[in-house]
Amino acid sequence: MPHPRAWLEDVRPCPYADQLASGFRLLRFNQPLEREYRAHAQDSTYSVKRIALYGAILIWLAFAAFDFALVHSPVIWWMFAVRLSVFSLLLIFAGLLIQGRHAHLLQPLSVVSIMALGVGAAVVVGIAHITDPTYPYEGLLLVCMAAYFLIGLRFREALGCSLAVLVAYVGGELFAGVPLSRLISNLLFLLIGNAMGAIGCYLLEYKSREHFLISRLMRLLADHDSLTGLHNRRSFNRQFEQLWRQAQREGHSLALLLSDIDHFKAYNDRYGHQAGDKVLERIGGLLKDAARRPLDMAVRLGGEEFAVLLYDIDQAEALQRAEVLRKNLELLAIEHQGSATAPIVTISIGVSCFPPTDSGTLAKHYEQADRALYKAKAAGRNQVMS
């Protein structure tokens, strides 16, 4: 029976597939994949954390009213002071989030908020137990469960917050003089609850990370050609429009290099489709090298047709880059006895460069590059034309 993840070998090398194959039981990815995941997690949980913070403020006020109903001794004012301090801190955090300009602070604020709630609740319990041993302490477990499940903390953060709450609880109970047997009994209850929460939190983060990797991998496969690893036509059509709008905003030109492998059908007929696939892979590598800048794009449009989209480049430089690409393929000296152009595999390239003032569409620019490619073929192939 095949291993359930044997399919990953078909899509490697790829950072997402490699991470899935190697595993992440310690809930940590390789860099920079870890940074990408954390940015994704922050974006996906932003609204949830805001709602959780507002909910925590309301619940904290409700517990303050609960204190006045249960405790009838002067210590109530010390309990109220603690409640007020934590409430003020939560209000400050809520104000920062409402402004919407401090998204980068969301994760640390979430950690500090749950720590403040937990430690504050532990201190309140300790103060109350000075005069009223029956004051409920179980609310601490609710705080811990919120850290594990409700506010989207990572496992290590949630576990650290919950342990800090337990330490604060033990300190408060010792200060209040709670009998050791009762303290141990209460602590055992909280520890068992935390153990269950920690297991659940670990599994949730593990599945969250796994889903992140699989969804990124699926998106990568949907947007890339499986043989060469280049962008496919669908990805090209979508990203071209985005790059074209960005280039117009920033005042930059774009260049489209449209290319065909010369006499590729004859190559497949003579050497076989498996050998043809290897040629496509090697040419795909050359195109990747030609589009290494962040906003450049190498594309396999289909069959033996390729494209390179170059950002912030003029006509002369685009022609030069196309000529370098053509020569690099010649240097590979891949035998092609079925070619009427040369005894090696060659490529014809059409170049279209469009300035930011041009209001043309993708279809128009593609047509310009296609006409230039036709000219290169008509002139004998293995040439660059514009």
Alpha-carbon span 122 to 140, nearest angstrom: 7
Which H or E run contains 350? strand 347-354
Can you tell me whether residue 191 is helix, strand or coil? helix
**What's the DSSP call for residue 340?**
S
Closest by alpha carbon to 326, among 349, 343, 303, 352? 349
| Per-residue exposure over 31-64, b if at least 16 CB sit within 10 Å of its own CB, e if not | eebeeebeeebbeebbeebbebbeebbeebeebb
Q: Cα separations (Å) of 212 from 209, 219, 221?
A: 5, 11, 14
Alpha-carbon span 217 to 235, nearest angstrom: 15
Out of 138, 241, 304, 335, the active site residue is 304
Cβ proximity of 65 and 74 under 8 Å = no
Closest by alpha carbon to 122, among 54, 186, 37, 181? 186
Which residue's structure tokens are 């070998």? 9
Q: What are phi and psi of 384, to 5 degrees?
A: -115, 130
- Give the CA diameter of the chain: 101
Can you tell me whether residue 351 is helix, strand or coil? strand
- Clarify whether 304 is annotated catalytic: yes
Q: What are phi and psi of 351, to 5 degrees?
A: -120, 130
Structure-token pair, residue 201:
């939190």
Cβ proximity of 173 and 129 under 8 Å = yes
Q: Please report how the helices 75-99 and 106-131 are oriented relative to each other, as an axis angle in degrees rounded to 10.
A: 170
Give the residue numbers annotated as catalytic, written as ranges.
Answer: 304
